[in-house]
Amino acid sequence: MDFFEAQARAKQRTGRLVALFMVAVIGTILGGYFATIFLLAYSPTRTSRHRYYQSSNIETTPVQLWQPQVFLTVTVGTLLVVGIASLVKWQEFSAGGSAVAESVGGRPINPHTTDLRERRLLNVVEEMAIASGIPMPAVYVLDQEPAINAFAAGLTTSDAVVTVTRGTLDKLTRDELQGVIGHEFSHILNGDMRLNLQLSALLFGILVIGLAGRGILWAMTRGRIRGDGKNSGGAVIAIAAVGLALLILGYVGYFFGKLIQAAVSRQREYLADASSVQFTRNPGGITGALKKIGGFALGSSLESNKSSTIGHFFFAQAFESSFGGLWATHPTLDSRIRAIDPQFDGKMFDPPEVVDVSQESFAKAGFAPGALDHSTLKRPAAPRPSPVAIIATIGTLAPANIAHAETLLASVPPRLRDAARSPTESAILLYGLLLDGNETMRERQRSLVATKAGAESRRLLGELEPALGSLGPEHKLPLLQLAVPALRNLPPASLVPFLDTLDELVHADGKVSTFEFALQKLLTRSLALGEKPGAAVVQVYSFNAVANEISVVLSALAYTASNGGLDAAGAFAAGADQLKLLEGKLALLPPAASDFVRLDAALDKLANASGPIKQRLLFASAHVVGADGTILIAEAELLRAIAAALDCPMPPLLAAA
């Protein structure tokens, strides 16, 4: 299943889940309606239109099952409560993955940490981020949780976070840790994160009804609701009955909502396990982690109840399942292991009496970049450039890409990797990536940095320059991916001047290269979605509505690809042939009509297009750059920038030359 199919299925599942939850809401409405009819029929009344009670003589009104006014009132009231509560919860989640991680007590890992286990975790996440083509997720740890567990959260790949427990850091080997992180990256790439957040918001909306009933009953037990007068007993009884009815109805709806949530979650866990094995080509990694969960006494159970509302996010069952496993958010450990290893004998990990971690060497423990031993694995060779193969890499984690990411990161000077993790130095690093090869222009750019960003920035830039000189073009965009989390931490007062300085460095020589455009586009899109992940919405469903924008994209790529030996018209035609729905409506535009300014505007509009439009556009774009059978670095950079602008993460192209 490719990236676009996974995204489409995630949307289909969302639609089905909303329908199922609406069934639960309808059941709640019907239950509320009949409860209201009962209360009206058998509770005391005082109006002249009904019989009323005096002293201790209580009479009731006749039961009339169908009362449209009551039904309308209950329906509107229920929908308002559920809808408002769900929207409030969704608004909380719209702040992004970091808000979710921090709400359950997650601590962001310092990118410059000296803790060897945290350093190992960061290395694994960095490798997978580079290999998959997404910005480096923020990484959190639940310090007070000694069990083995982890989760990914966020609305888009640009605001995703990966959170692990302290037990995961302390108890897993690097292979096992990579298996767990591969599982979480599957959730990031397959659209599961957004689905999980939607599930939680809908479920909370139903739960609020029960919480309201519980609140009424709690207030009565504390004496905060009292009768006033000698005939107030009936009113108190009525209030108590309302509270009890709300409590029962809310929790009945919640019960069935949890059943739906658990059933969906269990299916996604099997897929994520399989994806992890596919990513790492190391079944022993994830099965080893699962066996350790089964072997340690704490397993994957969390001690804090802060995470109870997002239990379905986690790598393994985080809380004890109620109702005989009906609410279990994950399949059993045994079934998950057997799905990967049919020969599993049922024996879990046997933990030692005392765990002595001090005897592991730095390399053996896997703290160094690229410490995973791939020597026994058959690595696929870099394939010949193929448009189909290029698009197939979107949203995936192939073993060859992971190996390539390890090699890339290992060859980046440590000083630059440290700079990419620092909010202050990451900005200077990006200035350095834009330094021109011509010394005169380079000196002009240095002066510009000193003028715009200050003397200290100029000094830091000079400190980084020797290491920057050893970089190849293939290292630059991966370094940007690593720097995104640090850049997100820049205060707004510093972010705007930074982006302005970056723009002046790009235009210092009066022209914009493909790398400069790619860097700016990748950065601005990642920062925008990281700040407002809820802004990624679909507004365009018609190919005809964006025909002109598609012409701009294919034309810009064609002029870049024509340097590879094929004229621009031929390259454009190779891409346009892949868009049969727009046959006769696409035309190669002049260079002035498809420059980077117009390309930027076109991509902003196309970012709101539907999945099928993005998929066909990227497929056509890949045919443009691959028309001559060779993909140059400039072509690869521009294609990756276009994919990132469309929120389709593309890994580095291994065949780019």
Burial of 439 (C-beta count, 10 Å sphere; 0-12/13-18/19+) = exposed
Question: What is the spatial distance between Cα 517 and Cα 110, in angstroms, rounded to a whole number?
Answer: 30
Question: What is the spatial distance between Cα 349 and Cα 337, in angstroms, rounded to a whole number?
Answer: 12
Residue with tokens 């497929």: 619
The number of angstroms, rounded, from the C-alpha of 113 to the middle of its chain's C-alpha atoms is: 24
3-state secondary structure at position 250: helix
* Residues 124 and 369 sit within 8 Å (Cβ to Cβ): no
- Report the DSSP pairing between strands 150-153 and 161-165: antiparallel
Neighbouring CB atoms inside 10 A of 634's CB total 19
Q: What is the DSSP letter of 382?
A: P
Among the listed residues 263, 264, 257, the one whose alpha carbon sits nearest the alpha carbon of residue 206: 257
Question: What is the spatial distance between Cα 238 and Cα 247, in angstroms, rounded to a whole number?
Answer: 14
Question: What is the spatial distance between Cα 400 and Cα 381, in angstroms, rounded to a whole number?
Answer: 7
Written as six digits, the tokens of 205 are: 């909306």
Question: What is the spatial distance between Cα 174 and Cα 406, in angstroms, rounded to a whole number?
Answer: 14
Question: What is the spatial distance between Cα 385 and Cα 389, in angstroms, rounded to a whole number?
Answer: 7
Neighbouring CB atoms inside 10 A of 437's CB total 6
- Report the DSSP pairing between strands 138-142 and 107-108: antiparallel
Question: What is the spatial distance between Cα 85 and Cα 75, in angstroms, rounded to a whole number?
Answer: 15
Among the listed residues 141, 124, 202, the one whose alpha carbon sits nearest the alpha carbon of residue 406: 124
3-state secondary structure at position 398: coil
The number of angstroms, rounded, from the C-alpha of 491 to the middle of its chain's C-alpha atoms is: 23
Q: For the chain, what's the residue count?
A: 657
Distances from the Cα of 642 to the Cα of 191, 485, 516, 524, angstroms: 20, 21, 13, 13
Please, what is the angle between helix 174-189 and helix 192-221, to 10°?
Answer: 90
Which residues are annotated as catalytic? 184
Question: What is the spatial distance between Cα 23 and Cα 7, in angstroms, rounded to a whole number?
Answer: 25
Residues 6 or more apart whose Cβ sits within 8 Å of residue 532? 94
Sheet holding 150-153, edge to edge: 107-108, 138-142, 161-165, 150-153
* Residues 498 and 427 sit within 8 Å (Cβ to Cβ): yes
Element (H, E) at 140: strand 138-142
Burial of 605 (C-beta count, 10 Å sphere; 0-12/13-18/19+) = middle
Distances from the Cα of 522 to the Cα of 104, 211, 320, 527, 645, angstroms: 30, 44, 42, 9, 7
Among the listed residues 157, 181, 155, the one whose alpha carbon sits nearest the alpha carbon of residue 168: 181
